[in-house]
Amino acid sequence: MRRTPRTAAARRAERPGEPAPDAARLAPEPRREDCPWCGSTRLGTRVRARPGGSGVDECRTCAHVFRNPRPAPGPHPGEDAPESPAPGRLGARASARRHRAAARALSPALEPESWLDVGTGHGRFPEAAREIHPYTSFDGLDPTPRVHRARAAGRIEEAHRGHLTDPAVLARLRSRYDVVSMLHHLERTPDPRAELRAALTVLRPGGHLLVEAADPDSVFGRLLGGRRIAHGDPYRLHLLPRAALLAELRALGCTIVATDRRETHRPGAPAGAPALTLPAPATAPRAPRTAPTAAAATAADHAPTPLLRRTRFAHDYRVLARTPPSPA
């Protein structure tokens, strides 16, 4: 006799101790009428909200781009999923290369003793950064169980599960680290300013903060508009202009050591643009990853990368800042 397919709720009920999702928690928050960065009410719509969903607005005063209304705090879909056992070789090499470039932003001559990677996920950045800083102790912070798997895999030495802004986490990690890295972390947090202040709290005097973020002023950012965050990851909440981030770091007493766009470019916009702008039919079968069209798109996407990363087409920017030294 043919078995009746089980619903997601039925499968969840078979796993003891796993709470059911709360629809109220996952519903969007009320739409806000002011910018979450500068408070201006001069907002422009870049992507209109769908029924029951959220759109993307841009502040006409500070150019901050943000999802509006924001999804309510809740578990990110797939955040607890295990790491893919066989990532594409081209993508894996490109990712490791970017991670090593980010690690090189801090001179190995500085010889940091301790480094905290915030939003570390599976710990791929600390794994690559150790090649550049072999004598540094790398720890990871993440709100999901992935951080414990990263420690079990030997990619980090200490695993801290939670959010950097949690008082208990701050009390435990205060002034422990020479370096804190936030690679594409701020754009997924509800309050980037609070995250920056928390990062400075866990840094020692004279420590370094390394930030990578998507650039809303890139050419691709302007061509795709708010569609860079309107689809796909529903918890990518912000695109922070580089000038605004630099001004905030200076206001917090930091010295800007370096900024860069060249080494942070990630392939993705040309081949990914159709996926961001054209909704796929709900009944369309999923194409295999090895399809010739997908392979051709990926190759075309990676081919111009060495040229694009030196232009305003680059997707991302990097900032290295130093906290004030301790008073003599």
From 76-85, 98-107, 267-276, the region with the lowest mean pLDDT: 267-276
Quote the mean pLDDT of the chain: 76
More confident residue, 206 or 95: 206
* Mean pLDDT (whole number) for 24-31: 63
Mean pLDDT within 2-16: 41
User: What pLDDT, in 10s, does the model give residues 283-311?
Assistant: 334 444 444 444 443 444 444 445 444 44
Select the more confidently predicted residue: 277 or 64: 64
Q: How confident is the model at residue 99 (pLDDT cuts 50, 70, 90)?
A: very high
Could you tell me the two tokens for 168? Answer: 């208990």
Residue 321 — pLDDT band, cuts 50, 70, 90? Answer: very high
Percentage of the chain modeled with pLDDT above 70: 63
Contact between residue 137 and residue 157 where contact means Cβ atoms under 8 Å apart: yes
Instruction: Say how far apart CA 103 and CA 106 lie, in whole Å.
Output: 6
Lowest-pLDDT range, 58-67, 217-226, 300-309?
Answer: 300-309
CB 203 within 8 A of CB 115: no
Q: Residue 223 has what pLDDT? A: 60
Per-domain residue ranges for the chain?
92-214+241-273+309-322
pLDDT value of residue 241: 93
Share of the chain above pLDDT 90, in %: 49
Q: Compute the distance between CA of residue 42 and CA of residue 239 in angstroms, rounded to an integer.
A: 17
Collapsed DSSP state (helix, strand, coil) of residue 157:
coil
pLDDT in tens, 145-190: 999 999 999 999 999 999 999 999 999 999 999 999 999 999 999 9
Q: Identify the architecture of domain 92-214+241-273+309-322 in CATH.
A: 3-Layer(aba) Sandwich (3.40)
On the question of a cis peptide bond just before residue 279, with omega within 30 degrees of 0, the verdict is no
Spatial distance between the Cα atoms of 108 and 104, rounded to a whole number of angstroms: 7
